[in-house]
Structure 1
Amino acid sequence: MPKIVELSLFEYELSNGFNWTDRDQEAIAKLEKIVGDRLFSFEFHNGKREIRAKQYVGVFRLGQRKVEVLPKMYRFPESAKQEAVRNLLYMLEYTNQLNVKQYSLASLYQQNLDWFEILTKLFATNLLEEWQRGAFRNYQSMSDTLPVLKGTWNLTEQLRRPERKHLFAVIFDEFTADNQLNRVLRYVVERLYQLTRNFHNRQMLHELQQWMEEVTLLPRVNAEDLRLIPITRLNQRFEPLLNLARLFLENESLQLSSGNFQTFAFALDMNKLFEEFVISFIDRHRHEILPNHLQNCELLPQSQHETKYLATTEGQDVFQLKPDLVMRQKSSFPLIMDTKYKRLKEGDHKLGVSQADFYQMYAYAQRYKCPNVLLIYPQVVGMSELKAKFEIERGTITAATIDLCGDLSKQSERDKLVERLRGLFADSQGV
């Protein structure tokens, strides 16, 4: 088997010394079509075609080449990869997208697995543990033809098949593991078994295949199917696994073309993850972070039920505004917060805040009649805390960084983040 050529990049970093071919470019174009966004750009450097990563972190396979993209926040120290993986796992756990047991993290770091294989290991390990405790079972309506009456006699079906006078067409309830929740989990097990290249992951997934033989293997499952699965107290322990399954299903992008040239992408949009983590953190620590006069505010992620527009045309609202977090106090909006997963510039009197982003914040302030807008950016390793306050008509727009590069699994680092956010919220209010 040909050796896999591996490459690690940080977001927006340019590869060096890889002469990417037309075939590689076509494979990336296929992946981008499936993901629905740009994953890489191509540039010529020293006469060679190179790729530059975008804002997606994850693992990308192009035939015998594998590219792992890590967050730009961790670009400088030697321990960057381990720190990046550790905090990515924590951010996903904090936003309820997976469940990570702390005792398992050390072994994950020591095995030098890529991002996809780490999540595969977490999925397989946790599913094996839960399945051995007992599969989720519930009553499912079944139709069958039996030599005895069981459940309800299906007379309509019986009359359609008069030649089966000695058999009964029946409908009955059966307490079974062959239900939609387990069918989704089995489908993900089968997909991961095809994609993993780690021996131990493959071994665990094969064991799961044997455990789950009674569950129907569906030909196709997508992320939307998970919304149809009700979470109850009986199956709640499987919810973290369903969240992780959703991550895999949203990234399902295996393509095989002539010559068995395999392409695969597992990508996380850091713009979205950064936004979800910051909002979840503020919501969970609101009593420690928010000033007294904001304690009673409703926190509305994605401006829930308070969507506004910039204009109307022919009686229809157009140009929708959708702040990441709106704070509502009765009928007023004392503060709006937005996140931007971009790097600010030290030494610039505007901190490198883009004109388009500032116009967007100004529109929020005017349309919501909000006196204070807080714009939060990630802090990059080696950069000091940055903050700038811009005075506008009847209010202010504050741009600032928060540090997510420390070990967020430690209480001391979370306390620092609480303190930083408390200071930003207080300062944006002039407190």
Structure 2
Amino acid sequence: PHQCKGVIFGRRSPLYGVKIACLFTPEDHASNLVKVAKTSLFAGAGGEGVLEHRRKHLRARGVVGVIAAPGCQLEILPKIEAMGENGVSDETLRRRLVHMLAVARDIRIDAQNSTSLGWQRDTLLEILIRLFCRKMMEAVRQGIPRRYINHEDDLSALRGRLDMTRQFSTLAAHPQKLACRFDELSPDIALNQVMKATITKLVRFSTSADNQRSLRELSFAYADITDVLANALRWEMITLDRTNKRWRELLSLAQLLLGSKYQTTSTGQSGGHALLFEMNTLFEEYILRVLKRALTGTGLKVTSQGGHKSCLFEAGTGRFRTRPDIIVKEGSNVVLIIDTKWKRMTTRIDDPKQGVSQSDVYQLMAYSQLYDCNRVMLLYPHNQGLPSQPICIPYHIASPTGAERMFVSTVDVSGAHSSVAAALIATVQKSLERSYEMTG
């Protein structure tokens, strides 16, 4: 059937570009999309944390990805340009999001794969499925990993070792059987069960003909692997070593598609499904990975969600533990704390704070005191409503000449990986008033 595309009720968020492909009019399907969105882990207790259903429009809340309901799909893309600007294509937005996901999850996307992933014609979900299928097909051609698994069986001839306890108890009345314990090389291991669960789930999600064809071929290759529900997969049993290291990226993709700390897939009674990513967490993870690589060899160490210092104490017991997004250390000393914010800064004349939240400022001031760190930073994505170059504005804390400083900075995530790394190095150099040579 013919599918029409259009912006939901003519509205777009400045941070999230929302498009819908549907069989009828968007109004006919909005309520079904909201029902599916409420099944997401990001929806919260009231179920309103993903889509805001207003009288004439839907609005995304802090997530990107795809929500599918019977007859329609809703694609939410990260859009950080200023309100009213339409110069950035959906293809560019999809490329930007997939690039951030790839960096955050250590997934390589080579030039050959990148040019043929269907950036223009397909949704983010189909692009990720296509990437997974191509990497899976290449890995399966080299052989599915196998490991020795311990078995116990009652056989007519001895195989492996004799289980003396079971032989003279359970089989005491059946001397013709031997209680054997042996190791057998098998593909039915935790890693392959994760891959089969991913394939099985994607078969239900994909609407692309070529993706469905690839998934059917992969399903045939994994026909002998035990079916395990996604919530029962034994991730802790997976061991990656030199014999199966080529599966590392595929495991990251499987985690991305099955569920991770900043993404969730879900299926509700409405017959739909959702593949969603929380942009605040993804932006933080992306900046962390780029910064770690860029600061390699400088003597600075970058950690995420560390610290865990309590800001209040009651009868000697700490309360309200703090978790800064990114901590930069030099030896054992904390020299810089960065809080990433996937929000849009403004240059409105009537807003000298440029959209910076006062609560975010208070939080960083508390970090400065708790961690004895005289440099803290709020880091935002750069947008076209700001000056052409990313900004790094220094503020003195507590007094006009105070030694502690807070920096309000931006980074342009639309550029190449190397340019983002160089920009982050420059921002760190300015905040620490030091010079580092970029090595990552």
**Aligned-partner Cα distance in 1 for 2:166–2:4:** 59
Q: Which runs of 5+ in 2 are unaligned?
A: 435-440
1:331 to 1:185, Cα distance in 2 relative to 1, 3 A: closer
CA contact (8 A) 1:142 1:174 kept: yes
Q: CA deviation at 1:233?
A: 1.5
Which secondary structure does the structure 2 equivalent of 1:252 belong to? strand
> Could you tell me how far 1:23 is from its partner in structure 2?
4.8
CA contact (8 A) 1:13 1:52 kept: no
Kept in 2: contact 1:7–1:68 (CA 8 A): no
Tell me if structure 1 keeps the 8 A contact 2:295–2:301: no
* Alignment CA distance shift 1:111-1:375 (3 Å): closer
How far has the Cα of 1:15 moved from its partner?
Answer: 7.6
Q: Quote the residue 1:169 is aligned against.
A: 179
CA offsets per residue over residues 212-255 of structure 1, 9 Å max, x none?
A: 1222222x133873243122112211111111111122123122
| Distance apart, 1:201 and its partner CA | 0.9
CA distance in 1, matches of 2:80, 2:162: 64
Q: Does 1:277 align with 2:286?
A: yes
The residue number in structure 2 matching 1:82 is: 91
SS in 1 for 2:55: strand
Q: Please list, as runs of the form range in 1=range in 2, the aligned pairs for 1:234-253 lying within 5 A after superposition.
A: 234-250=243-259, 251-253=264-266
Q: Relative to structure 1, is the Cα distance of residues 81 and 334 closer, same or farther in structure 2, using a 3 angstrom cutoff?
A: same
Q: Do residues 42 (structure 1) and 49 (structure 2) align?
A: no
Equivalent AA in structure 1 for residue 372 of structure 2: K
Q: Could you tell me how far 1:163 is from its partner in structure 2? A: 5.8
CA contact (8 A) 1:31 1:263 kept: no
How many Å separate the matches in 1 of 2:381 and 2:280? 10
Q: What amino acid maps onto 2:391 in structure 1?
A: L
How many angstroms apart in 2 are the aligned matches of 1:307 and 1:141?
42
Query: Is 2:75 the counterpart of 1:68?
Result: yes
Listed one character per residue, the Cα deviations across residues 141-163 of structure 1 (whole Å, up to 9, x for unaligned) are 12223222101223444442456
Q: What is the distance in 1 between the residues matched to 2:92 and 2:236?
A: 33
Structure 1 residues 7, 316: CA separation in 2 closer, same or farther (over 3 Å shift)?
Answer: farther
For 2:356, the equivalent position in structure 1 comes to 353
In the alignment, which residue of structure 2 is the partner of 1:411? none
Distance 1:139 1:264 in 2: 37
Separation in 2 of the partners of 1:186 and 1:35?
30
1:5 positional shift: 6.3
Q: Which residue of 1 is the match for residue 222 of structure 2?
A: 212
Question: Using a 3 Å threshold, how does the CA distance of structure 1 residues 264 and 270 change in structure 2: closer, same or farther?
Answer: same
Q: Tell me if the contact between 2:206 and 2:212 (Cα under 8 Å) persists in the aligned partners.
A: yes
What does residue 417 of structure 1 align with? 420
CA shift for structure 1 position 378: 0.2
> Partners of 1:209 and 1:181 in 2: how far apart?
15
Q: CA deviation at 1:70?
A: 0.2
Per-residue CA deviations over 1:68-93 (Å, capped at 9, x if unaligned) read 00002267455522112222222222
- Within-5 A mapping of 1:327-406: 327-347=328-348, 348-381=351-384, 383-384=386-387, 385-393=390-398, 394-406=403-415
1:181 corresponds to: 191
Report the CA distance shift for 1:402/1:177 in structure 2 as closer, same or farther (over 3 A): same
Cα distance in 1, alignment partners of residues 81 and 172 from structure 2 = 72
Bigger mean CA offset, 19-28 vs 419-428: 19-28
What are the superposed Cα offsets for residues 95-123 of structure 1, whole Å, 9 maximum, x if unpaired?
Answer: 23433232011111366111111111111
Counterpart of 2:135 (choices 123, 126, 132) is 126
Closer/same/farther in 2, CA of residues 405 and 331 from structure 1, 3 Å limit: closer
User: Which runs of 5 or more structure 1 residues have no equivalent in the other structure?
Assistant: 289-294, 409-413
Look up the SS of the partner of 2:223 in the other structure.
coil
Distance in 2 separating the partners of 1:269 and 1:110? 21
Q: What amino acid maps onto 1:389 in structure 2?
A: P
* Greater fraction of residues in helix: 1
CA apart distance, 1:427: 2.2
The CA distance in 1 between the partners of 2:292 and 2:411, in whole Å, is 16
Q: TM-score if structure 2 supplies the norm length?
A: 0.84
C-alpha distance 361-208 of structure 1, shift in aligned 2 (>3 A): same
The aligned runs of 1:148-159 (5 Å cut-off) are 148-158=157-167, 159=169
Q: Cα RMSD (Å) of the superposition? A: 2.7
Aligned equivalents of 1:15, 1:188: Cα separation in 2: 26
Distance in 2 (CA, whole Å) between partners of 1:34 and 1:240 is 29
Aligned with 1:30: secondary structure? coil
